[in-house]
Structure 1
Amino acid sequence: MSTATVATEFAKMRRLRLGWFSGLLLIGVAALTVFPAVSTIAAAGPSAPDGHVWRVVFGNLGLATALVPPLLLAVLASRQVEMEHRGNGWILSAASGVTPGRLCRAKFLAVGSLVVAATVATSLLLVAFGLAAGAQAPVPFGRWLGYTASAAVVHLAVLAFHLLLSARVENQLVGLGVGVLGIVLGVFGPVLPDWASHLTPWGYYALITPADYVGADLVHLDIPYTSVVALAVVGGGLFLATTARFDRQEA
């Protein structure tokens, strides 16, 4: 992948204000995690058991992650690809030696870097909130690192899908509609069997939920890292295979 091609995508992103949308990804997830957590933590008071603050933050984070990213990732992909449809960008890029598949891979690297940065920044912001909220237990760095990496993988898988969809379907409303469907799959994923959640990338938002209620108790949940790695391998392979097919087609 040419560095110049990726740099060109970053230049396009500045004109499209994609940095603002990635900021909304950070703010949206953080806000939907913090606002309900404040009242829950305050209600528990100083008598709450050790680790309660972190469980509350993780529990709200799981729902916030299923609600916000599916639609915003669709918007990010749509805006980055729409200009190619409107301005004959596929043809112009092909004329300069950048095939459609190569262009999609450059878009993924550029937009994906923003998504990963927003995901990491969100986790850091929420760790700071937990400390400010008076968490007595030490910061569970292992859980934070595991969840952040898992969320980044799922975000990138969803982004890759939307980039391919936006490249193939000129009507960008289709991608946004799929993003709304992704919210439904992510939110209601916990009530589905695990095998059903494995069938779509949005189902993984339910699989990586870091904390939830078991009966009346809010407890940490184990993230299925093997499934997340499988998603990265399978999703990455499908993305590379599909973009390689794009390379063999006319722009």
Structure 2
Amino acid sequence: MNLSAIFTKLIAVEFKKSRHKHSFLLIVIALVLNYFYLFHGNPPDQQAWYHTFYAMPLINTLILSILMAVLASQSVDMEHRGLMWNLLSTLEDRASIYLGKLLYGFIHLSWFCLLQMVMVILMGIKLGYDGNIPFSVIGSTFLAELVSGMIVYQLQCLLSLFFPSQFAALSIGFGGTLAGFFLAYVSTTAWTPWSVLLSLSPIGMDYQRSSRTVTLFLHQITLSEILTALLYLVSIFLLGLYIFTKTEKRELNISACRDKASRSVHSGLPVELIKLKRNPIWIPFLLIPLISAVIGTFNFTQNQDVLQNTWADLWTQQSLFLGIFFLAPLVGILCSLLWRMEHQGSNWNLILTVAPPAKLVRDKYLTAVIFSSTSILWIALIYLCTGKIILRLPGAVPGLFWFRMISAAFCLAAITAVQSMLSMIFRSFAVPIALAFVGSFAGLWLTLKGAYYAIPYSMLIYGMGSSSITGAVNVPVLLASCCFYILGSIICSIVFLKRSDVRTHV
């Protein structure tokens, strides 16, 4: 069998493994998010083409990075189930398996980039953009997204192989995306793999602080920027190829050396907390809010000509990315982790023989609520320490701050209920997390339209005060919407468990 036939077979295997995981639906969702960000409510001007291709790398530093992380997690997660990795390596060469996974990601990435460029061209013609279609810019952006997307995909495959529990790989991916997005604003140098896309952007921006005007121009990509991207691409590929082919599964799993039995029968911890006892889920709940706070504090100190040196403006900067993009997916990671054990082997059959559906749903929900509520306290502590100790802001903390924290806790409880239900329904670890990102983008759009009460993700942005901590809060509507989603999701989860055939989960 020749090399092309082997790769064709392995790609077919990867696509068969991804059946019913809705990978191409994720691409469609990413394209819809691109459409709303690039075209919805943005009237064209004389630099419309430049505005579009300047904004594309910006939004796709978030969307494309998350899409590649989810696809990599789906592709590698299967090998962590049972003895799949050991079995596959007896049937095919491990290097071929690894290359098959990369081609699987490359096909999805190519489809996304191609459809995105077609969408941009058609929308530019429909909206009547001035000037000819900039095919050179389109080609540069297409190649930049292919290279940066494959860098992130390869890295996420490597992380997903390292960590049997995908929460660690996805948490690192989310933290890296947030850090890369921030560093790209500070410098065009690709300091992290997640900031390569913006460094390869063919459109540059010049901002004049005195007149507050923005000018877009063609950016000549330097040789050093190209070499940096290629260095990331090749080095991560070689590292991944070496680890995939030279390391045994038991040697690679970070948790493999920790086989000490748990005293679960005699432990005073609740059952769901026992399951999390050796999973460092607290790490992303500590680091991602901290990264967001560092980014917000830096923006706050660097933009004092626009912002005021007040507690209110500090909060909007620290909570902006967290409330809009990352807090809900963080809860999604926790919920997927809590339901992961039930989705493995025949655990559904076992657990439902000893625990009624109502108790199972309740225990997982309460466990997730405890973690999310603790994260709110951590976010508040970071905010207070930054304002009082580091920046020494004048005046007192706004009186509405603690009310906002209580509102955020209620909204997170509603998001937790929805994400717990999604994680119970979908066997894939990553799909509910991707849906949390989609919900966050939809929540931002609904909040801007004034329909903050429509979904829990928009309620979080509204209740947390990410846009304005001093604004009025419609308490009855907020509480009614939270209660509706909490009770509705819990009831739907219980009914689903009672009426669905557990054999479909095996």
TM-score, structure 1 length as denominator?
0.85
C-alpha distance in structure 2 between counterparts of 1:66 and 1:241, whole Å: 23
Q: CA deviation at 1:199?
A: 2.8
The reply to whether residue 203 of structure 1 matches residue 195 of structure 2 is: yes
Please tell me whether the aligned partners of residues 71 and 182 of structure 1 are also in contact (alpha carbons under 8 angstroms): no
Report the secondary structure of 2:129's partner residue: coil
Aligned position for 2:71: 76
**Identical columns (%):** 21
* 1:61-210 correspondence runs (5 A): 61-99=56-94, 101-194=95-188, 197-209=189-201, 210=203
How far, CA to CA, are the matches of 1:34 and 1:223 in structure 2?
26
Alpha-carbon distance in 2 for matches of 1:39, 1:199: 31
Give the structure 2 partner of residue 239 of structure 1. Answer: 237
Kept in 1: contact 2:181–2:194 (CA 8 A): no
SS of 1:220's partner is: strand
Instruction: Give the superposition deviation at 1:120.
Output: 1.6
Partner-residue secondary structure (3-state), 2:20: helix
Alignment: residue pair count: 238
Q: Give yes or no for the alignment of 1:39 onto 2:32.
A: no
1:219 is paired with a residue whose SS is: strand
The Cα of 1:229 is off from its aligned counterpart by: 4.9
- Give the secondary structure class of the aligned counterpart of 1:118: helix
Report SS of the residue matched to 2:215. strand
Contact kept? 1:77, 1:163, Cα under 8 Å: yes
Partner residue in 2 for 1:25: 30
Q: Report if the CA contact (8 A) 2:65-2:152 is conserved.
A: yes
Distance 2:222 2:163 in 1: 33
Larger relative contact order, structure 1 or 2 (CA cutoff 8 Å, min sep 6): 1
- State whether residues 61 and 195 of structure 2, in contact with CA within 8 Å, keep that contact through their aligned partners in structure 1: no
**1:212 aligned to 2:217?**
no
Q: What amino acid does structure 2 have at the position aligned with 1:224?
A: I
Q: Helix, strand or coil for the counterpart of 1:199?
A: coil
Aligned equivalents of 2:232 and 2:57: distance in 1?
23
Q: Per-residue deviation at 1:230?
A: 4.1
TM-superposed deviation, 1:81: 0.9
Q: Which amino acid aligns with 2:192?
A: T
Task: Give SS of 2:93's match.
Answer: coil
Q: Match for residue 248 of structure 1?
A: 246
146-155 or 58-67, which deviates more: 58-67
How many angstroms does 1:117 deviate by? 1.4
Which of residues 7, 10, 17 in structure 2 aligns to 1:5?
Answer: 10
Is the alpha carbon distance of 1:190 and 1:234 closer, same or farther for their aligned partners in structure 2, counting shifts above 3 Å? closer
Distance 1:154 1:104, change over 3 A: same
Question: Which amino acid in structure 2 is aligned with residue 92 of structure 1?
Answer: L
C-alpha change, 1:146 and 1:114, in structure 2 (3 Å) is: same
Whether 2:14 is the aligned partner of 1:14: answer no
One-letter code aligned to 2:217: H
Residue aligned with 2:92, SS: coil
Q: What residue ranges of structure 1 are gaps of 5+ in the alignment?
A: none
Evaluate the alpha carbon distance shift between residue 237 and residue 62 of structure 1 in structure 2; reply closer, same or farther with a 3 A threshold: closer
- Offset of 1:106 from its aligned partner? 1.0
SS in structure 2 opposite 1:68? helix
Indicate the structure (1 or 2) with the bigger Cα radius of gyration: 2
Partners of 2:173 and 2:49 in 1: CA distance: 29
**DSSP 3-state at the match of 1:214:** strand
Looking at structure 1, the residues matched to 104 and 177 of structure 2 have their Cα atoms a distance apart, in angstroms, of 24
Question: Judging changes above 3 Å, is the alpha-carbon distance between structure 1 residues 88 and 118 closer, same or farther for their aligned structure 2 residues?
Answer: same
1:32-89 deviations in Å (ceiling 9; x for gaps):
2222xx4342xx5xxxx3xx22122123223211221122211111111111101422
TM-score relative to the length of structure 2: 0.44
* Mean Cα deviation higher: 2-11 or 204-213: 204-213
The Cα of 1:234 is off from its aligned counterpart by: 4.2
199 and 136 in structure 1: CA distance in 2 versus 1, 3 angstrom threshold: closer
Which whole-Å CA distance do the structure 2 matches of 1:231 and 1:87 have between them?
A: 36
Q: 1:170–1:96: structure 2 CA closer, same or farther, 3 Å change rule?
A: same
SS at match of 1:16: coil
Q: SS of the residue aligned with 1:39?
A: coil
